[in-house]
Structure 1
Amino acid sequence: MTDVRHGRRHAPLLYPLGCLVFSTGAYLFIHSDLGTDPLDVFALGLKEHITITVGLAQAGVAVVCLGLSALWNRRRPLLAPLFTFFFCGSVIDLLMWTEPAGRLGADGPVLLAPATLLCAYGSALIIMGGFGIRPIDVLAITMTRKWRWPFWATKGLVEVALMTTGLLLGGPVGVGTVCFLVGVDVLIQPLLQLNARYLRLPNLGLPEHTPRPADAT
């Protein structure tokens, strides 16, 4: 019980930490120039046609995902995830402007492994925080509960749709995009269980994927 309470005291930190970790991973995908995550494929493809920032493009996607989820659940749309997309997108814009990876001499394929791990772990932390869950994940969670599909399958379906649209708009698709779709989407669920089992962190976003107390000892 002490471990559980200790984990819950850290719950408010999961959201901002998750946003920063995820944004750093997404930036590394972009900087690798080997293809980025599906959402940024769409955002960067849209930038080829209109004057818009990554943050604003992601906010637009957020509105669509939250609207679909709200209609499906017959509830009012959530508002906190809108800030998450704008916040993460703005952090990515800042990192693209300052280019810390370039200053360190990091480039190309060497960035794909840390990018994949950072995006997966950042996504897991945001979901576990239960506040401002990324709109794509909100929609994927709704699909998981309605269709009883695995989370990685519903999330992958949404992101394949974004990637395809972004590719048609001229967004960067490559081996990095494949790493995101395969690596990040598959790793999120095991990381949720890892955080709950060994770090005793509460999973407020997907409690059904948290080991029971008897299993976590």
Structure 2
Amino acid sequence: MNVKQGFYWRCVFFITGIIILSLGVALTIKAQVLGVGSWDVLHIGLQKNFGLTVGTWSIILGLIILAIDALLTKRLPKIGTYLDMFLTGIFIDIFLYMLPDLHHLFEQTLAFIVGIVLLGFGCGMYMVANLGIGPRDTLMLLLVHRLGWTVNRARTTIEVTVAIIGFLLGGPIGVGTVFMALGLGPVVQWALRLNEKLFFRASGTESAIL
């Protein structure tokens, strides 16, 4: 398989993964009575206080993070990082508009579980494409490289900090927030292995992250 075909499949996995991930995020937000992911606690808190949409706040915070990273590292992120940021924010808003509001606990619980699976699967799928990481992971790596922290310490610190700020702004925290913090990692790891196999079958080449 030539380079163009390999790049084509990377783009397919990248965009499809972001769409699936965004649908998963939207489902967890529709089930927010159970709590949402740490960053979405902040996005929703900002929406309640300053207006705009959840997806718009996701993009704005992403731009701020990338600006800080560029100033400190003196280099610009990959184009895929920008695409990840804008497409994720846009698709989250599209799905939040399309999906109905959920009023019963059973519906919200089901939506949350499905959302977690889709979020993790989509994350693993776009990561396999290896076209650039999202702004939140860029921030995590910045702390790792600048402060010498472990990935786990950097990620935990960021998640706890944004969740607290979001909660103070009125964002929803619940058992789902804790579950996402502890349970999303294994789902992403499973999805990464599965998508590596799917990518190899589709493109005939191995992902650069293997």
Q: TM above 0.5, one fold? A: yes
How many corresponding residue pairs?
202
**Which residue number in structure 2 is paired with residue 11 of structure 1?**
10
Q: CA separation in 2, counterparts of 1:9 and 1:76?
A: 23
User: Structure 1 residue 48: deviation in Å?
Assistant: 1.2
Aligned to 1:88: 88
The answer to whether the 8 Å contact 1:7/1:199 transfers is no
Taking CA–CA contacts closer than 8 Å with sequence separation of 6 or more, which of the two structures ends up with the larger relative contact order? 2
Q: Distance in 2 between matches of 1:29 and 1:159?
A: 16
* Whole-angstrom CA distance in 1 between matches of 2:78 and 2:192: 22
Quote how far apart the aligned CAs of 1:194 are: 4.1
Give the Cα–Cα distance (whole angstroms) in 2 for the partners of residues 130 and 64 of structure 1: 23
2:51 partner SS: coil
* Mapped contact 2:79–2:131 kept (Cα < 8 A): no
Deviations along 1:59-116, one digit per CA (max 9) or x if unpaired, are 121123223333443313455434423322222222222225759x971222232211
CA distance in 2, matches of 1:92, 1:16: 13
Cα deviation code 1:38-67 (max 9, x no counterpart): 222111100111121222211121123223
1:174 shift after superposition: 1.0
Q: Distance in 2 between matches of 1:73 and 1:193?
A: 31
Once residues 148 and 46 of structure 1 are traced to their aligned partners in structure 2, the CA distance between those partners, rounded to angstroms, is: 28
Gaps of 5+ in 1: 211-217
Aligned residue for 1:195, secondary structure, equals helix
Deviation at 1:6, TM superposition (A): 8.3
Partner of 2:191: 191
Alpha-carbon distance in 2 for matches of 1:106, 1:177: 18
Q: TM-score, normalised by structure 2?
A: 0.78
Paired letter, 2:29: I
Equivalent residue for 1:149?
150
How does 1:111-126 map onto structure 2 within 5 Å? 111-126=111-126
CA RMSD of aligned residues (A): 3.2
Q: Distance in 2 between matches of 1:84 and 1:127?
A: 11
Length-normalised TM-score, structure 1: 0.76
